[in-house]
Amino acid sequence: MKAIFAFGLLILFAFLGSRFLFKKRFFSPVSYFFLSGIIYIFLGLFLGKKGLNVLSPEVLRSLSPLLNLGLGWVGFLFGFQLEYKYIRRFPKRYIGLSFLYSFFVIFLATVALILLLKFLFPSQPAFLLYGMIVALALLVSISSPSLLNFVSSEIPKKGRYYYLARFLVSVSGFWAIAGLAIISSFWHFPFFKNNVFSKGMIFFLFSTIIPVFLGLLFHVLTVRKTSGYDYLVYLLGLVFFAAGAASYFNLPSLFICMVMGITLSNLTKIQEKLYPLLLSTEKPFYIIFLILIGALWEFNFDYKIGLLVILLLFIRAVAYTFPLRPLGLILRFSFPLPAHYGLCFLSFGGVALAFVVSLKLIYQYPLTDVFVSAALLVIVVSDLLSPLILKKALLKLESRE
């Protein structure tokens, strides 16, 4: 009965939030705090066991299908935008910059986290510690397009810096989600004492091939004329099935549904008509998803978490500013990439939150909660500061164009 009450409460918050709170007011950190949805994480924390206990651990277990559907839907929407026709509109050097940029951020974060975490957690098993280090490094490489959407009206004449930033934040999550699938295939099964590589490859290939097959099958079954809303209902069922199957096998539904979204977007001929329809479902699903994240958050703060938060913020700022000039020269960009341009990419967004939740659901160790607390605090602080920092990056550059 309590689960039914909690579900009704979530529906009410989703309706009110998407109707009244998820609207842009003016350019400020406070306005972006509401628009990005961070407030709903704190609402979930208040409703969880640390607060009113409406969303108690027992209720959350009953509502776990909603959480898996949210993860799957975030992954699917992200993958559905990665249509080849869209990607090829941009110069190839943009893709090269995205890959090299992400690689540098992940590498720098991994090295810095190894130095700190081996000191902070010397007694933790190596497989768990190094897995968390790589996962956090992958998280640091994710940026959000929502802040650019938020600031777009402040740029009357959008130029090459804006569109480069749009491209980079739109694809940055792909490298991180693919990395999550790889480490979950190998690191998630430490009981494999023999043939770890071959068994891990089997799981990774399974995570990749199955969603491709599901996307192909769905396209074949709906290739005949299907109304938009019928298509949406069928698609929700497919994502729910894929996310549930991923949860059953303890694999990242974020990755599996992303691959399915990429497959379907490149098969269908009505991608441009479907994408706005899919986005119309985003706000209510996203609000429910954020509230459940807050309720799952085992909020804790000590000096270790504080040091980890400071380090992650520092790594993110350095990693996104330092390599831009040399990468621009290596890839022969026709316009300069000043270091402060990297400050455009400090906001995390929904894909990063889904990444954190995936980590918590797949690896249920006490140490995971420490890293999840640090990751969520970093996301909150970054999304509060990034609107002001963006003024010193993108807005000034575009005003000079």
Distance, first Cα to last Cα, the chain: 60
Contacts of 268 (CB under 8 A, 6+ apart): 219, 274
- What sign does the CA torsion over 272, 278, 283, 288 have? negative
Q: Which two tokens stand for residue 174?
A: 């792909």
Q: Is the residue at 13 inside a domain?
A: no
Question: Using an 8 Å Cβ cutoff, are 186 and 165 in contact?
Answer: no
Q: Which two tokens stand for residue 210?
A: 């199955």
Task: Give, for all 401 residues of the chain, the pLDDT tens digit.
Answer: 677 777 788 878 777 777 665 565 566 677 777 777 788 899 899 988 888 888 888 888 888 888 888 899 999 989 988 888 888 888 889 999 999 999 999 999 999 998 888 888 888 777 778 888 889 999 999 998 888 877 777 777 778 888 888 899 888 899 999 999 888 887 655 555 566 677 778 888 888 999 999 999 888 888 776 666 777 788 888 898 999 888 888 888 999 999 999 998 888 877 777 777 777 777 788 888 888 898 888 888 888 889 999 999 999 989 999 999 999 899 988 888 888 888 888 888 889 999 999 888 888 788 888 888 999 999 999 888 888 888 777 777 766 65
Q: Is the residue at 81 inside a domain?
A: yes
Q: Is the residue at 54 inside a domain?
A: no
**What span, in angstroms and rounded, lies between the C-alpha atoms of 285 and 73?**
8
**What span, in angstroms and rounded, lies between the C-alpha atoms of 337 and 352?**
25
Closest of 369, 373, 352 to residue 360, by C-alpha: 369
Question: Using an 8 Å Cβ cutoff, are 119 and 358 in contact?
Answer: no
Q: Is the residue at 51 inside a domain?
A: no
Q: Is the residue at 350 inside a domain?
A: yes
User: What integer pLDDT is reported at residue 226 of this predicted model?
Assistant: 63
Q: How many CA atoms lie within 13 A of 208 on its CB side?
A: 14
Question: Using an 8 Å Cβ cutoff, are 212 and 260 in contact?
Answer: yes
Q: Is the residue at 26 inside a domain?
A: no
- Domain with residue 137: its CATH number is 1.20.1530
**What span, in angstroms and rounded, lies between the C-alpha atoms of 380 and 39?**
9
How many domains would you assign to the chain? 1
Question: Using an 8 Å Cβ cutoff, are 59 and 2 in contact?
Answer: yes
User: What integer pLDDT is reported at residue 227 of this predicted model?
Assistant: 66
User: What integer pLDDT is reported at residue 21 of this predicted model?
Assistant: 59
Helix ranges (H only) for 141-249 are 146-151, 160-186, 196-221, 228-248
Q: Is the residue at 14 inside a domain?
A: no
Q: Model confidence over 288-345: pLDDT tens digits?
A: 888 889 888 888 888 888 999 999 999 998 999 999 999 989 998 888 888 888 888 8
Q: Is the residue at 135 inside a domain?
A: yes
Which residues on neighbouring strands pair with residue 48, listed in sequence order? 55
Question: Using an 8 Å Cβ cutoff, are 172 and 98 in contact?
Answer: yes
User: What integer pLDDT is reported at residue 401 of this predicted model?
Assistant: 57
User: What integer pLDDT is reported at residue 81 of this predicted model?
Assistant: 87
Owning domain of residue 348: 69-288+301-400
Contacts of 8 (CB under 8 A, 6+ apart): none
Its pTM surpasses 0.85: yes
Q: Determine the distance from the C-alpha atom of residue 268 to the mean position of all C-alpha atoms in its chain, rounded to a whole number.
A: 25
- 222 SS3 class: coil
